[in-house]
Amino acid sequence: MRGFGYLSKEGVRSVWNNRMMSAASIGVLVSCLLITGAAMLISLNVNNVVEQVGKDNQITVFLKDDIDELTAIQKVGPEIRHLDNICDCEFYSKDQAITEWESELGPLFGELQGEENPLPNAFHVTMVDLSQYGETVKSIKSVEGVDMISDRSEVAKRLTDLNRLVTQVGLWLVAALGIVSLFIISNSVRMTMYSRRFEISIMKSVGATNHFVRTPFVIEGIVLGLISGVLASCIIAFLYEAMMTAVKYIVPITEIPYDQLAVEMTGGFILFGMVVGAVGALISIGRYLNMEGGEILGW
Amino acid sequence: MIQFKNVSKVYPNGTQALDDVNITIEKGEFVFIVGASGAGKSTFLKLIMKEEQPSSGTIYINGINTTDMKRRKVPYLRRTMGIVFQDFRLIDKMTVFDNVAFAMRVIGARPRAVKKRVHYILGLVGLKDKAQSRPAELSGGEQQRVSLARALVNNPSLIIADEPTGNIDPEMSFEIIELLNEINKQGTTIIVVTHEHDLVQKFKNRVIEIQGGRVISDTGAPSEKAEIPIEISKEQLAEIPEEIAEEIPDVSEEELNREALEAITDGEAAEE
């Protein structure tokens, strides 16, 4: 397209010429991107924790008191292994359990060995798919000799709910902040246009097409978005590392390393900034494109 | 050629700016439009520039009915015109060169063509040595000449000057009209709106007087105007001093306007 170089230069120059307004726009857009990015990162990390819990899909099946070790290993164990959705079934004797309690809770439990041991024999069962938790537990309970099963479904449910909440709040934040960003960029470009309305009126009088009038302002919006995206990416990378160090100090979780997210986050921020910039500029310029001569100058 | 057929214009607030106006201005004419403030002169120009739409009647510019012209084609119509404003409308932060070049750049002219053409036009209006000056450093007359250079730079077939002498002293006013006369001798149609009767009387050109939105007098074109050559002949070109001839862009008026005319007449193919 002829003249694109000239129009691009004009757009970039305008960012500098209106640097106070540009700085304000960039500041607001960076803030919006940071809040949006923070919501996304929290959501991704909660999701990550849920996945980790999901992978740890082992349950404990306690046997009735009258089931001895031999019956458990020879009869109950093979029956559980033959059920659907069972990946592994490992015997866990009541002697192993009390020894473990002793090492964790103190020598008092050492006296409860042998006949005095109140704990039941059990199996550590690993499921293939935790989403079929309910059906699998029901099948295991139907096996003769099974007394009760440790329930982990509540933990998984709470984490899933938390993740859903964070995702929904994040989406609303993105939507709300996106609209705020659009408004800010649109106002910034409108200020530029107001200060350049004289040029716009001359452009139109000498036969510039709407496309030519519009392009520098759209480029200005895109440049503002691009700068905001790059700045927000750098800030969030720094903040993420600092925040995760603090969070891990309180809750021992395995976070997603920022290196794994850097490309998507940076690309997303820049793309989001540029799209918001371009759309904001288009909203503002539309008003001027429909005006003529003195109307543009407010005469 | 410009033709107004039974054109009336009533603004939304009820003001009747033009009332059943019938005017024909032939190619190569120099016409003064005179009348008091509020007579309808500016509306007449706005209708030519397609800044306003007539309430009734038909307007033809270069044989094209512009009354129902689509909005997207208006820029191409305007490329066949050059506008000179009373208040010059120069951009203060730009140099004289850039102010003139601006008109070429916004229609997508190539940088090389811009440089060559702007220097040539500034020479034509006597401002070659002021190319790097800012408008604020120039006198009123010089600023109006920059405005005229900007109107001329895209080689339009029509120059519209809205009160071009309104902000300059009488001596400079005479010079500006004299310059427009010279441009007219090259075949460019000139329409000058003014309320300065003294100035009009000094030049033997056609005068149309508008009052209350109606044409109340029209002197008609002086007979000698018909003999004005529209194109520069080879003999005339040979008479141009070599150093000036070298600077004249090797682009004819027809070539410069071809794109614009094609866009107006060829329909969808030539759209932006």
Copy the structure tokens of residue B13: 């607030």
Integer-rounded Cα Rg, in Å, for chain A is 32
Of A202, A207, A213, nearest to B102 by CB-CB distance is A202
Among A94, A127, A151, the domain boundary falls at A151
CA distance A196 to chain B (A): 10
Of B52, B83, B110, nearest to A205 by CB-CB distance is B83
pLDDT (0 to 100) of residue B251: 44
| Cα dihedral B43, B47, B50, B52 sign | positive
Q: Return residues 68-87 of B near A (CB < 8 Å).
A: 72, 75-79, 81-83
Among A106, A122, A151, the domain boundary falls at A151
Which residues in chain B are contacts of A6 at CB distance < 8 A?
Answer: 105, 111
Residues 6+ apart with CB under 8 A from B183: B152, B159, B190
Q: Which residues of chain B have pLDDT under 70?
A: 221-272
- Count Cβ neighbours within 10 Å for each residue of B202-228 and write b for 16 or more, e otherwise: ebebbbbbbeebbbeeeeebeeebeee
Query: Could you tell me the pTM of the whole model?
Result: 0.65
- Closest residue in B to A207 (Cα) is B75
A167, A26: one domain: yes
To test the contact with chain B by mutation, choose from A6, A205, A299 the residue with the greatest count of B C-beta atoms within 10 A, namely A205
A174, A101: one domain: no
A166, A289: one domain: yes
Which residues in chain A are contacts of B91 at CB distance < 8 A?
Answer: 198-199, 202
Q: Give yes or no for B57 touching A (CB within 8 A).
A: no
**Whether B108 and A203 lie within 8 Å, measured CB to CB:** no
Q: Give yes or no for B52 touching A (CB within 8 A).
A: yes
A124, A252: one domain: no
pLDDT (0 to 100) of residue A241: 86
CA distance A212 to chain B (A): 7
Domains and CATH numbers, chain B: 2-266 (3.40.50.300)
Distance, in Å, from the CA atom of A148 to the CA atom of A128, rounded to the nearest integer, reads 20
**Whether B107 and A208 lie within 8 Å, measured CB to CB:** yes
Among A151, A172, A201, the domain boundary falls at A151
CA distance A22 to chain B (A): 20
Of B52, B89, B107, nearest to A207 by CB-CB distance is B107
**Whether B154 and A2 lie within 8 Å, measured CB to CB:** no
E strand spans, B35-147: 56-61, 64-65, 81-84
A46, A108: one domain: no
Number of domains, chain A: 2
Distance, in Å, from the CA atom of A276 to the CA atom of A26, rounded to the nearest integer, reads 12
Across chain B, mean pLDDT equals 82
CA distance B239 to chain A (A): 32
pLDDT (0 to 100) of residue A298: 61
The answer to whether the beta carbons of residues A178 and A276 sit under 8 Å apart is yes
- Nearest CA to B121 out of B141, B107, B90, B100 is that of B100
**Whether A210 and B109 lie within 8 Å, measured CB to CB:** no
A130, A172: one domain: no
Task: Look up the CATH number of the domain holding residue A77.
Answer: 3.30.70.3040
A160, A278: one domain: yes
A139, A185: one domain: no
A143, A208: one domain: no
Copy the structure tokens of residue B77: 């119509």
Q: How many CB atoms sit inside 10 A of residue A180's CB? A: 16
Copy the structure tokens of residue B59: 């307007």
**Whether A204 and B89 lie within 8 Å, measured CB to CB:** no
ipTM: 0.74
Of B49, B75, B89, nearest to A208 by CB-CB distance is B75
**Whether A210 and B272 lie within 8 Å, measured CB to CB:** yes
A120, A254: one domain: no
A90, A229: one domain: no
pLDDT one digit per residue (tens) for chain A, 299 residues: 556 777 788 778 878 877 887 888 888 889 888 888 887 888 788 778 766 766 666 788 999 888 888 888 888 999 998 988 888 889 998 888 888 877 776 676 666 777 778 888 899 888 877 667 778 888 998 999 898 887 666 666 676 677 778 778 878 877 887 788 788 777 877 777 787 788 888 888 888 888 888 888 888 889 988 999 999 999 999 988 888 888 877 777 777 888 888 898 899 999 988 998 888 888 888 777 777 766 666 65
pLDDT (0 to 100) of residue A130: 67
Which residues in chain A are contacts of B272 at CB distance < 8 A?
Answer: 209-211
**Whether A3 and B108 lie within 8 Å, measured CB to CB:** yes
Sheet with B56-61, strands from edge to edge, namely B16-25, B2-10, B56-61, B64-65
Range of the domain at A117: 58-151
A200, A185: one domain: yes
pLDDT (0 to 100) of residue A94: 84
The answer to whether the beta carbons of residues B191 and B207 sit under 8 Å apart is no
